[in-house]
Structure 1
Amino acid sequence: MPADPLALRRWSIVFASACALAVGNAPIAIFTFGIFSKAVVAEFGWSRGAVGAALGALNICGAFAIPFFGACIDRFGVRRPMLASIVLSCLALAAVSLAHSFWAFVLAFALFGVFCGGITPVPHAKLIAAWFGSRRGLALGLAMSGTGVGAALVPLLAHELLTHYGWRAGYQGLALLAAVIGLVATASVLRDPPAVATPQRERRPLTPAPWRTILARTEFWLMALAVFAVCTALTGMIVTAVPLLTDRGMPALIATSVVSSAGLASAGGRLLTGALLDVFFGPRVAACAFVASALGIALMAVGGPTWVYLVASVLIGGALGAEVDVIGYLVSRYFDIDTFGRAYGLVFFAFSVASGSGGYLLGLCHDLTGSYTSGVWACAALCLLGALLISRLGPYRVGRVRDANEQGGVAARPA
């Protein structure tokens, strides 16, 4: 039995966030893009680089929209902006199935990027940072592991939909799944925390920072550049893994299973990283994860038996999970909670641009050289650069505190 009345609510929010993120933007759009891409190329005759531009449009539009979504949740709370975002983004994803021209295809993905803020980790990380203090890393790891579970299961569902019904019905099915689970989790469970009455000696004034103040911080730029470098590499590898492996003669179902193993590793990476963040200095944890991802990408470049690709996929997926955990955790340790949405949104700008850039650049590399190999080695180098940048962060600016329900008292404002 929980020792206090808010414990069950706090951990139910973690569970609901995990369920919602299992059908968030990464599992339903990024992890499935490579599965549908060959069918799209076959139907329209476009190049792989051209098809990859749609994912680039998604992430670039999302990159510009998410900082403003972060400002909305700082001002209005998370629930109402999330509900609107879920409905609009799922309609945009379903609209992909209606495309019969290149520009309509790209436009549908771009609209998904504009509206997808509520199905990204941004609002969930703000909620958990507000509800949790001393166990924040573990709570973030548990919630973000939902993305890993979704990344493992949703591609398998996408493959089945593609095989039996085609890529158009596949996108419709994924949009419906994301809408149902996301709306149920958000409407029934997710809430902003009650105001916490902390002892006077623990208080310090919190002044919401304007955009220019956040952009002037060295910590922001180190985080943003590290995230950009590593995310370019990791999402590029995830998006192109199925085409890369099938080009090397691997059956499509086995190649999809390799990508799914990255999703499972991502879930494990989130849990492990979350626990480590509560014990060790966050930038060091992140640097170790990024170095491991460089090793996994190098194994993917070298190739070999199927087990080599599985090991590589596990290393890449584990780092992808660590990356998402680390963003939310480090933002909460270097920026106050009152400006968390804006600060995280700006870091997520780098994340979103990188998510589109990786797939496009690797697709372009294939178009120019006939192979992904040189692009894969460049991705390994980017992960090492990210490890170097993140290791340069200094001491935390926001200290560790006890969880909200462990503080001296809770205000009467309903949650």
Structure 2
Amino acid sequence: METINGKKRIFYGWYIVAVCFLMMALIYAPMVSAKGLFVPAILKELKFATSAYLLTSTITSLVGVSVAALLGKLYSKKHARIVLFTCITGISVCFGMYSFAYTLTQFYIIAFFSGLFFGGATLMPVSILITAWFQKQRGLALGIAFVGSSVGAVLLSPIIGKLLVSVGWRHTYQYLAILMFCVLAPLVLIVIRQKPADKGLKPYGFGETVSSTKKSEAEWNASLKELKSLPLFWVFLFGASSIMLTGGVIVHIPSFLIKSGYQTADAALFVSIYSFVAIFGKIALGRVFDKLGARSGIIFGNGLFILSIVSLFFIKIRIMMYVMAIIYGFGTCIGTVTIPVLTARIFGPKNYGEIYGVVNTFAQLGGAFGATIIAIFLDKTGTYNASWIFVIALAAVMTIALLYSAAAGFKKIESKEKAENLNSTV
């Protein structure tokens, strides 16, 4: 709430959050969280190898990497709303075009164009818009927006599962494409504004004092040029990339469940359960970062993610499907919450857009190969066991990398503050 002329009213930034929530629900959820539901049906009809088909994810991510810097610059200009509208229109068309694909080449071409628009319609604009509109409660605002992907998966997964059985995967793609465009395109043009000044406002919490801990973290405001010379930044980029690479498991879990004796409806139920849990998991992880600090947030999120993958070895015990879904519902939140929160927490908000553009590029690069690498293990060994071992090992290494980069970053801030205090007393 904000007070204007003695009257309280909802801060306009929360409307921005609401649209971002819907973008994550209607675009990110179908393309990432529920993507695995389409895989068995497509492979059954078209007889593709799993790794060959999932190369579409790699292509989309690699193209996204190549245009991330350009999109970051475009979103910093005056016409960010038009850029967002274009990306939403483009990704809606691409999603619908999948329904007309019959060959791998056709899937690859559509995946290429999807890569041009997907990042510009989901994580990047959400992070940049909310960072611009909020100084206070930024973590909460980001958490609410990112919860959209979980809510979308919870609501859409059972619907997608039923549509896949009743009308087939082609019509399902078409229905979702229409939903994306008809809901989001008008809202973007009507509601989205690039920054508070466009509405004659200041960022939420502008000018308010913050705790000494948060103040020191926010006052580094490192430049990208400065960070490129620091090892901690490159270690952080490795950690961010690994988060998205290991996140490729979500594409495979529905297929893994079906290979383990479950039905398509069970796979859809799994997606719904973990997505429902993630609604609370994203808020919980954000609160851990806010209240207990970066170290606790990293250990909490990454630890649960690793535990969820370990539980896959026991998935043939039916109760473990539910246990795994609950644990994974918390662990998967590192893919949306940890990277933007740590980027702002360690490096500061001043140059966030530029720095996050680089971080997002490396994260997408990791995501580009995650599903494909796991599929290669599957095709070579015939089982998912080697894939799960690889994911667990990499997740352990990325946890160490993120803990190091956070600790090194905060030491850098403390050293800078001590030097500034010393100079002020001279």
Tell me the residue number matched to 2:245: 232
Which AA in structure 1 matches 2:22? Answer: C
Checking the alignment, whether the CA contact within 8 Å between 2:289 and 2:297 is kept in structure 1 is yes
What is the rounded CA distance, in whole Å, between the counterparts of 1:397 and 1:255 in structure 2? 46
2:133 to 131, 134, 155: 131
Once the two structures are overlaid, the 10-residue window that deviates more, 68-77 or 244-253, is 68-77
Instruction: Write the mapping of 1:176-215 to structure 2, written as runs, cut at 5 A.
Output: 176-191=178-193, 192-194=195-197, 196=202, 209=223, 212-215=225-228
Deviation string 1:21-76 (CA, Å, 9 cap, x unpaired) is 11123x12122322112222222221111111111111111122223212221233
1:19 to 18, 22, 34: 22
What is the rounded CA distance, in whole Å, between the counterparts of 2:27 and 2:411 in structure 1? 29
Checking the alignment, whether the CA contact within 8 Å between 2:43 and 2:50 is kept in structure 1 is yes
Tell me the residue number matched to 2:60: 58
Tell whether 2:410 aligns with 1:395. Answer: yes
**How many residue pairs end up in the alignment?**
396
Checking the alignment, whether the CA contact within 8 Å between 1:228 and 1:351 is kept in structure 2 is yes
What is the rounded CA distance, in whole Å, between the counterparts of 1:383 and 1:110 in structure 2? 28
Checking the alignment, whether the CA contact within 8 Å between 2:241 and 2:363 is kept in structure 1 is yes
For normalisation by structure 1, the TM-score amounts to: 0.87
2:340 to 328, 342, 365: 328
Tell me the residue number matched to 1:382: 394
Tell me the residue number matched to 1:294: 306
What is the rounded CA distance, in whole Å, between the counterparts of 1:178 and 1:113 in structure 2? 16
Structure 2 unpaired stretches of 5+: 415-426
SS at match of 1:46: coil
What is the rounded CA distance, in whole Å, between the counterparts of 1:205 and 1:315 in structure 2? 35
Deviation at 1:353, TM superposition (A): 2.5
Deviation string 1:4-28 (CA, Å, 9 cap, x unpaired) is 5674312222222112211123x12
RMSD between aligned alpha carbons?
A: 2.9
For normalisation by structure 2, the TM-score amounts to: 0.85
What is the rounded CA distance, in whole Å, between the counterparts of 2:192 and 2:9 in structure 1? 13
Tell me the residue number matched to 2:263: 251
Indicate how the Cα distance of structure 1 residues 96 and 278 shifts in structure 2: closer, same or farther if over 3 A, else same. same
Once the two structures are overlaid, the 10-residue window that deviates more, 323-332 or 78-87, is 323-332
Checking the alignment, whether the CA contact within 8 Å between 1:269 and 1:317 is kept in structure 2 is yes
Instruction: Write the mapping of 1:15-414 to structure 2, written as runs, cut at 5 A.
Output: 15-25=18-28, 27-76=29-78, 78-191=80-193, 192-194=195-197, 196=202, 209=223, 212-234=225-247, 236-335=248-347, 337=349, 339-392=351-404, 393=406, 394-395=409-410
Structure ranking higher on relative contact order (CA contacts 8 Å, 6+ apart)? 1
What is the rounded CA distance, in whole Å, between the counterparts of 1:251 and 1:77 in structure 2? 47
Checking the alignment, whether the CA contact within 8 Å between 2:240 and 2:363 is kept in structure 1 is yes
Deviation string 1:320-357 (CA, Å, 9 cap, x unpaired) is 22331222222223445453223222212222222232
Indicate how the Cα distance of structure 1 residues 115 and 390 shifts in structure 2: closer, same or farther if over 3 A, else same. same
Indicate how the Cα distance of structure 1 residues 253 and 265 shifts in structure 2: closer, same or farther if over 3 A, else same. same
Larger radius of gyration: 2
What is the rounded CA distance, in whole Å, between the counterparts of 2:411 and 2:96 in structure 1? 42
Checking the alignment, whether the CA contact within 8 Å between 2:69 and 2:358 is kept in structure 1 is yes
Indicate how the Cα distance of structure 1 residues 157 and 370 shifts in structure 2: closer, same or farther if over 3 A, else same. same
Once the two structures are overlaid, the 10-residue window that deviates more, 132-141 or 242-251, is 132-141
Checking the alignment, whether the CA contact within 8 Å between 1:277 and 1:285 is kept in structure 2 is yes
Tell me the residue number matched to 2:11: 8
Deviation at 1:240, TM superposition (A): 0.5
What is the rounded CA distance, in whole Å, between the counterparts of 1:164 and 1:217 in structure 2? 55
Deviation at 1:369, TM superposition (A): 0.9
